[in-house]
Copies of this chain bind each other. A is one copy, B any other.
Amino acid sequence: MRNLLVAQSGGPTAAINATVAGVVSCAVLSGKVDHIYGAVNGIEGVLAEKFLDLGKKLDSAEKISLLMQTPAAALGSCRYKLGDPEENKEDFEEILQIFRRHEIRYFIYIGGNDSMDTVDKMSKYCKENGVDDVFVVGAPKTIDNDLVETDHCPGFGSAAKYLAATFAELERDCHVYEKKAVTIVEVMGRNAGWLTAASALSRVNGGEGPSLIYLCEPVFDTEQFLKDVQEKLEQKDSVLVAISEGIHDSEGRYVSEQVQSDAQDQFGHSYIAGSAKVLEELVRDRIGCKVRSIELNLMQRCAAHLASATDLEESRMLGMKACQCALEKQGGQMASIRRISADPYRVEYTSVPVSEVANKEKKVPLSWITEDGHDVTEEMMAYLRPLILGEPAMQYENGIPVHIELY
């Protein structure tokens, strides 16, 4: 038997299930796969042998289409990262035994930086231990858009579309009153400002969008921020501000670390929340006008009802590409998008060594931030614009989109 296993990992996105759909379609079409399994809860589910018969669960075009419009990892997720095989090879041996038992030859792991590290370690372990009949391939996903070696990441386009539409709506909401007011909106992104940059897409139809946009790449200067806000308040009543959650001072301290530093997540990132809230208090104290803060929170990664058709299509194609790599015995690769033309927008699907991707982060180039530090350049806009295009035909029932449940 030649079976295939697919699993999802890391933070959910609105497009991560489209990649599963792509894997399944490619495996079915190939005629080379006997069973298509899905592991529930990522690599943890692999270790626990929590397998679903995905081929059966997704045996109709309608189910595939529902999967495409279902947000968050339909196979569940995990934050578990495999250790160093040189120090502890137990997990790797355990996984290979499970693969043997279920006759799994192809394993597609969909995820971000940390998940690509898992793909890399497993591939290397196979190679170094003479396992030549198991092929582990990565498929990228992350709303943060911070993976290297791919033009952009599946999931980012839909999050960007949510941000574009939401900032356009917020801008209309905020300017109905004549009173001077500041609205500070916090966007996800600890170390890369791509999502915050996407707030500028709210201007694509002529709307004003945010008056000020602060990405997390440059140093954030609170005094300069107050000056910028004050200047804008002189020009207009309603000042809408977009900030990355990860804005920080010259010593790398998050703006929000003044108030919160008590928690650390499992990968050692310090826990941050409330940069917008901290700035709200600052504006209230120092400027004294009406001010509110908004955190877009999980909605920006799970708003599948506002998914980008471009993103869903690309995510699906990347799932197909990853499956193709595995079937062609190219373990240790990650499916990737290469932009071959900007206007008209054209991409091709390729693959790159996952070792080049794992544990790296693609930040926004400083040259894509305007000189005044509080907006993005036309180069950034040209990069972003195609990613949010198109609205998928969504199936609604009883007033809300239909989701599929796999387990």
CA distance A204 to B400 in the complex (A): 8
Of the candidate stretches A124-132, A321-329, A389-397, the one touching chain B is A389-397
Q: In whole angstroms, what is the CA distance A301 to B242 when docked?
A: 19
CB proximity of A84 to chain B, nearest CB, Å: 24
Whether B399 pairs with A76 at a CB distance below 8 angstroms is: no
Decide yes or no whether A202 CB sits under 8 A from chain B: yes
A5 within 8 A of B: no
On whether A77 and B176 interact (CB within 8 A), knowing A72-B169, A391-B396, the answer reads yes
Interface segment among A55-63, A243-251, A290-298, A367-375: the answer is A290-298
Q: For the complex, what is the distance from the CA of A250 to the CA of B207, rounded to whole Å?
A: 46
**Of all chain B residues, which has the CB nearest A397?**
B205
Stretch from A97-105, A187-195, A226-234, A304-312 that touches the partner: A304-312
Q: Does A270 contact B (CB under 8 A)?
A: no
The residues of B that contact A77 with a CB separation of less than 8 Å are 176-177
Complex Cα–Cα for A44 and B237 (A): 16
A305, B165: Cβ atoms under 8 Å?
yes
A85 at the interface (CB under 8 A from B): no
Which A residues from 169 to 209 make CB contacts under 8 A with B? 169-170, 172-178, 183, 201-202, 204-207
Contact status B398-A177, CB under 8 Å: no
* B residues less than 8 Å from A388 (CB atoms): 398-400
Copies in the complex: 2
Q: Which of B72, B173, B385 contacts A173 (CB 8 A)?
A: B72
Determine if A400 and B165 form an interchain contact, defined as CB atoms under 8 angstroms apart.
yes
Bound-state Cα–Cα, A23 to B169, Å: 23
Cross-chain contact B399 with A164 (CB below 8 angstroms): yes
- State whether A305 touches B205 (Cβ < 8 A): no
Is A398 a contact partner of B403 (Cβ separation < 8 A)? no
What does the 1/0 interface line of A76-89 toward B look like (CB < 8 Å)?
Answer: 11110000000000
Contacts of A206 in B (CB 8 A): 405
A389's partner among B41, B166, B398 (CB-CB below 8 A) is: B398
Query: If A78-B178, A178-B78 touch, does A172 touch B400 (CB 8 Å cutoff)?
Result: no
Known: A177-B41, A177-B77, A297-B294. A205 touches B398 (CB 8 A): yes
Contacts A79-B177, A298-B294: A403 and B172 contacting too (C-beta < 8 A)?
yes
Instruction: Check B295–A295 contact: CB distance below 8 A.
Output: yes
- Closest B residue to A274 by beta carbon equals B277
Q: Are B398 and A305 in contact (CB under 8 A)?
A: no
**Could you tell me if A390 and B385 are in contact, using CB atoms closer than 8 angstroms?**
no
A72 adjacent to B172 (CB under 8 Å): yes
- Cα–Cα, bound, A405→B175 (Å): 12
Say whether B397 contacts A177, CB under 8 Å.
Answer: no
Q: State whether the Cβ of A402 lies closer than 8 Å to any Cβ in chain B.
A: yes
Which one of B44, B168, B183, B292 lies within 8 Å of A400 (CB-CB)? B168
Task: Please name all residues of chain B whose beta carbon is closer than 8 Å to the beta carbon of A174 when the two chains form the complex.
Answer: 298
Chain B residues, Cβ within 8 Å of A397? 204-205
- CB contacts (< 8 Å) of A402 on chain B: these are 205
A-B contacts, 22 of them at CB < 8 A, read A12-B172, A71-B169, A71-B173, A72-B175, A76-B176, A164-B399, A165-B400, A166-B299, A169-B299, A170-B298, A170-B302, A174-B298, A205-B402, A205-B403, A296-B299, A306-B306, A308-B399, A385-B398, A385-B399, A388-B399, A388-B400, A391-B394
**A-side interface residues toward B, CB under 8 Å?**
8, 12, 41, 44, 70-73, 76-79, 161, 164-166, 168-170, 172-178, 183, 201-202, 204-207, 292, 294-299, 301-306, 308, 385, 388-391, 394, 396-403, 405
Report the 4 A-B pairs with minimum CB-CB distance, sorted nearest first.
Answer: A388-B399, A204-B398, A173-B302, A72-B172
